[in-house]
Amino acid sequence: MSKTRKANVRKRLKAVDKVIEAVIDSGVKLHALGVAIKNTPKESTMKPRDKYTVFSRKHKKYRKSFHKTTTTIMLLPRRQLTLALLKPDLCANPNTISKIISRITATNHHNNFEIIRQREILWRQQDAEAFYAEHRGRFFFERLCGYMTSGPFTALVLARQNAIKEWRALIGPTHPWRARMNAPNTLRSHYGLTDTRNSFHGSDSDETANREIEFFFPELNVDAWRRQEEKEAAI
């Protein structure tokens, strides 16, 4: 097996370790799950032959490389992409952005996002109006566009399992006062100011995420990224 294939195998095994740690941290208690976790070795403790080969009576030394097996094994669910915006009030303070990025990528149940793309944006009025076109005519439209053109902001493409749901859970309710009452550990609870100046944005569906990612990152081919994900997830 080539060095690249071995590196990919180690990467997937470490990803499985992270999933198991997340399950443990979530507090889920099932007997079968406990047995599986107990009997699943960590990548760091596995012998090389157990990482890169499987048992086979038909091959020399009764082992054969994973990549020669005919069965495709999906170790993890396919990751999902979402668009995240860190709005102008946050970007006015670089230290705040640094803290938020650290929290986004932190390894725990709700976080552990991978940042696929990141870009600082400074909008013109027509840019804001184009992105929020579906809200044109609503009472908050002009106020929202004014807020989003008041200074630079950061656009991110985030990846992880259930990225859309998990990012929206991390940022919390649209209205910061509701976040403070009902979801005090969310980002909007800590940083949101008003209903308009709520500091964060997150896509609400795959379709919306695709459209919004293309708006900010037209060079990113989402379909090609997903194909590569599936290729890397398969042994």
User: Which of 36, 68, 100 is where one domain is finished?
Assistant: 68
Q: Are residues 171 and 208 in the same domain?
A: yes
Q: Judge whether 73 lies within some domain.
A: no
Q: Are residues 17 and 120 in the same domain?
A: no
Answer yes or no: is pLDDT of 36 > 80. no
Report the pLDDT value the prediction gives residue 63, as an integer from 0 to 100. Answer: 43
Q: What is the dihedral of CA 134, 186, 83, 194, to 10 degrees?
A: 30
Answer yes or no: is pLDDT of 60 > 80. no
Residue 206 contacts residue 162 (beta carbons within 8 Å)? no
Q: Judge whether 235 lies within some domain.
A: no
119-132 burial: b if 16+ Cβ within 10 Å, else e: eeeebeeeebbebe
Q: Are residues 34 and 89 in the same domain?
A: no
Q: Are residues 50 and 165 in the same domain?
A: no
DSSP 121-148: E---HHHHHHHTGGGTTSTTHHHHHHHH
- Kindly name the residue from 109, 110, 175, 201 that is annotated as catalytic: 201
Q: Are residues 213 and 111 in the same domain?
A: yes
Question: Is 217 annotated as a binding-site member?
Answer: no
Model-level pTM greater than 0.95? Answer: no
Task: State both tokens at 65.
Answer: 């490389």
Banded model confidence at residue 175, pLDDT cuts 50, 70, 90: very high
Residue 230 contacts residue 78 (beta carbons within 8 Å)? yes
Q: Judge whether 174 lies within some domain.
A: yes
Q: Are residues 32 and 100 in the same domain?
A: no
Return the CATH number at 198: 3.30.70.141
Question: Is 198 annotated as a binding-site member?
Answer: yes
- 198-220: pLDDT as tens digits: 999 999 999 999 999 999 999 99
Q: Are residues 111 and 59 in the same domain?
A: no
Answer yes or no: is pLDDT of 74 > 90. no
Question: Is 38 annotated as a binding-site member?
Answer: no
59 catalytic? Reply is no
For residue 101, give its domain range.
80-230
How many structural domains are present in the chain?
A: 2
Min mean pLDDT across 2-6, 90-94, 105-109, 172-176 is at: 105-109
Answer yes or no: is pLDDT of 81 > 90. yes
Q: Are residues 42 and 98 in the same domain?
A: no
Q: Are residues 131 and 61 in the same domain?
A: no
Q: Judge whether 184 lies within some domain.
A: yes
Q: Are residues 194 and 219 in the same domain?
A: yes
Q: Are residues 199 and 105 in the same domain?
A: yes
Question: Is 168 annotated as a binding-site member?
Answer: yes
